[in-house]
Structure 1
Amino acid sequence: MSSPEIASLSWGHMKVKGCSSSYKDCKVWPGGSRAWDWRETGTNLQHHPGVQPADLEEVLKKGAELLIIGRGMNEALQVPPSTLDFVKQKGVDVQVFQTEKAVAEYNKMAAQGAKVGGVFHSTC
């Protein structure tokens, strides 16, 4: 399965090609996507403690061989070293960017046929 293109990104709004709904924050993987509520794993409105391994497990289980994390338009969402270590221990490459750059890299890799997944925060 191929990774879906992220068709558009603006503050607080993301659209994934082939998906009828839009997202504020989203998870994407080879063959699908869904809304991502990073508060599910205890990250609060001040963006701490940040992206947790539990935020990424679903994407990794869906077959991503490369994971891209978008920290927000102003890079406010934290990504602890322990989270990066978790991904690397699964044998998956991980890259962290400001969200616009993360989406560009994700789309580039998806277009090349990579089994890429990602989690993207579309506001601060």
Structure 2
Amino acid sequence: MMMNSKNISPKINSIEWGEISISEGQHYKDAKLYPGGSREWDWNETGTHHSPGIQPADIRELLEQGAEVVVLSKGFNERLKTSQQAETFLKQHAVPYHILQTEAAVAKYNKLRETKPAGALIHSTC
């Protein structure tokens, strides 16, 4: 597929405890990244907590924005879980996904975004 600016996902320039820096100049504590943009990932919108973890509603927006592969971070210390419902949701939609420790998730996402419309949920603390 030919990549154009509408389906290119923004690059994560850097990640450190409590701050994610995006190529477009934004800084977030937790970030939703998707083809064509990014925004703060506000857990209160979907009732996300460390356990049971990431919810299907957190992922739905990434798919609605055109993500064809999804990267989910577990936090620096891997405290953020991914709910079974979220994994089932991804499988039902036949979306390839990766659940990784935050720094590994950032590396994976940055590599994937070079060749396909990628989405990510990045947690910058625990």
Partner of 1:13: 19
Give per-residue Cα distances to partners, 1:95-116, cap 9 Å, x unaligned. Answer: 10001000000001112x2111
Please tell me whether residue 83 in structure 1 is matched to residue 83 in structure 2.
Answer: no
Corresponding residue for 2:116? Answer: 114
Amino acid at match of 2:32: K
TM-score for both structures, normalised by structure 2: 0.90
Residue 72 of structure 1: aligned partner: 75
Cα deviation 1:60-88 (Å, max 9, x = unaligned):
10111100001100010111222111012
Alignment-mate amino acid for residue 82 of structure 1: Q
Aligned-pair CA distance for 1:42 = 1.7
Structure 2 counterpart of 1:76, which letter?
R
Other-structure match for 1:27? 32
Q: What RMSD, in angstroms, separates the aligned Cα atoms of the two structures?
A: 1.1
The CA distance in 2 between the partners of 1:93 and 1:43, in whole Å, is 21
Query: 1:121 & 1:6 partners in 2: Cα distance?
Result: 12
> Once structures 1 and 2 are overlaid, which stretch shifts more, 83-92 or 66-75?
83-92
Deviation at 1:13, TM superposition (A): 0.1
Cα deviation digits, residues 31-90 of structure 1 (max 9, x gap): 10000012322234xx12210001111111011110000110001011122211101211
Q: Which runs of 5+ in 1 are unaligned?
A: none
- Could you list the structure 1 runs, at least 4 aligned residues long, displaced by more than 2 angstroms after superposition: none
User: Is the CA contact (8 Å cut-off) linking 1:67 and 1:95 kept in structure 2?
Assistant: yes
**TM-score, structure 1 length as denominator?**
0.91
Q: 2:104 aligns with which of 90, 101, 106?
A: 101
How many residues align structurally? 120
SS in 2 for 1:100: helix
Distance 1:55 1:68 in 2: 12
Are the aligned partners of 1:42 and 1:49 in contact in 2 as well (CA < 8 Å)?
no
